[in-house]
């Protein structure tokens, strides 16, 4: 067995699965695609979508080996794995790395380790003393912040907000208070089919002068990014039925009170 550890490459994915081959040239740098094509060992959230991504990469640059013979392991996070009785540990998945092979870690969308269970594997690689190499690609969090016009000097990513109606309102009130006190942009994501419920909760909870930005389908041809005061959002979407165009689209929410 080799005594030299391999490198863990953090491979970005596209933010949307539609027309992935068309997206790659402008979403991922050519050097990222070249390095991705060299990897034979993979840790992914879902093998099916990972293969679809690699097939799109192959349309631009040859892969080191056929997708069918790549070693591909799935990892959805320790908590989720335990829920379904899966006892695999990060160290188990990093055996190829320990043997001296380079390994790619791929997120379902965006960059690994950010709002992504891959962070647990990155930490495990560091604990082994392995080199971790992040490759350049899209992050909806940073793209949304860049385009929002809100405070980019001080911000916090909050992950998902509770989906229970009352817990959601309580959490949103907390975020607005923190944002106002610290002049800090608060950023969170939502499951696409709950976009309308999230927006309605924001409009009923936040002060009229607070600024809310919503970025949808970021990096896609259908991308929309809008920043308005809550008062203006209420005029645009006076009822839940008016929000139908927001449903089932990947979205990021940003608030500055």
Domain presence at residue 2 = no
Please give the pLDDT value at position 127: 95
- Looking at the structure, tell me whether residues 111 and 188 fall in a common domain: no
Q: What is the pLDDT of residues 13-54, one digit of tens each?
A: 999 877 788 889 889 999 999 999 999 999 999 999 999 999
- How many domains is the chain built from? 2
Q: Could you say which of 105, 134, 163 is where a domain stops?
A: 134
Q: Could you say which of 106, 134, 162 is where a domain stops?
A: 134
- Looking at the structure, tell me whether residues 58 and 121 fall in a common domain: yes
CATH code for the domain of 84: 3.40.1010.10
Above pLDDT 90, what percent of the chain? 78
Q: Could you say which of 86, 112, 134 is where a domain stops?
A: 134
- Looking at the structure, tell me whether residues 45 and 158 fall in a common domain: no
Domain presence at residue 34 = yes
- Looking at the structure, tell me whether residues 248 and 210 fall in a common domain: yes
- Looking at the structure, tell me whether residues 154 and 98 fall in a common domain: no
Angstrom distance (rounded) from CA 2 to CA 101:
9
Mean pLDDT of 137-158: 96
Please give the pLDDT value at position 133: 98
Domain presence at residue 1 = no
Residue 125: domain span: 7-134
| Of 3-7, 77-81, 161-165, minimum mean pLDDT range | 77-81
Please give the pLDDT value at position 242: 85
Per-residue pLDDT for 84 more than 60? no
Per-residue pLDDT for 209 more than 60? yes
Mean pLDDT of 128-139: 96
Per-residue pLDDT for 1 more than 50? no
Domain presence at residue 54 = yes
Angstrom distance (rounded) from CA 172 to CA 105:
33
């Amino acid at each position: 067995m080799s005594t030299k550890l391999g490198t863990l490459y953090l491979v970005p994915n596209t933010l949307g699965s539609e027309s992935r081959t068309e997206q790659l040239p402008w979403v991922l740098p050519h050097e990222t695609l070249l390095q991705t094509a060299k990897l034979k060992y993979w840790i992914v959230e879902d093998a099916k979508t990972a293969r679809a991504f690699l097939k799109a990469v192959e349309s631009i640059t040859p892969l080191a080996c056929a997708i069918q013979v790549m070693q591909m392991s799935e990892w959805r996070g320790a908590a989720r794995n335990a829920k379904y009785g899966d006892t695999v540990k990060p160290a188990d998945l990093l055996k190829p790395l320990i043997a001296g092979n380079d390994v790619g870690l791929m997120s379902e969308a965006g960059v690994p380790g950010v709002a992504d269970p891959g962070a647990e594997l990155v930490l495990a690689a560091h604990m082994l003393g392995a080199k971790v190499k992040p490759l350049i690609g899209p992050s909806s969090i940073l793209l949304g912040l860049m385009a929002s016009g809100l405070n980019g000097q001080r911000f916090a990513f909050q992950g998902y907000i509770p989906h229970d109606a009352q817990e959601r309102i309580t959490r949103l009130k907390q975020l607005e208070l923190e944002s106002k006190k610290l002049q800090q942009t608060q950023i969170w994501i939502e499951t696409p089919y709950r976009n309308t419920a999230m927006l309605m909760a924001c409009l009923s909870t936040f002060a009229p002068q607070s600024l809310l930005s919503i970025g949808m389908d970021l990096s896609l041809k259908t991308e929309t990014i809008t920043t308005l005061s809550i008062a203006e959002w209420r005029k645009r979407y006076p009822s839940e039925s008016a929000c139908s165009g927001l449903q089932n689209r990947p979205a990021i929410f940003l608030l500055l009170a």
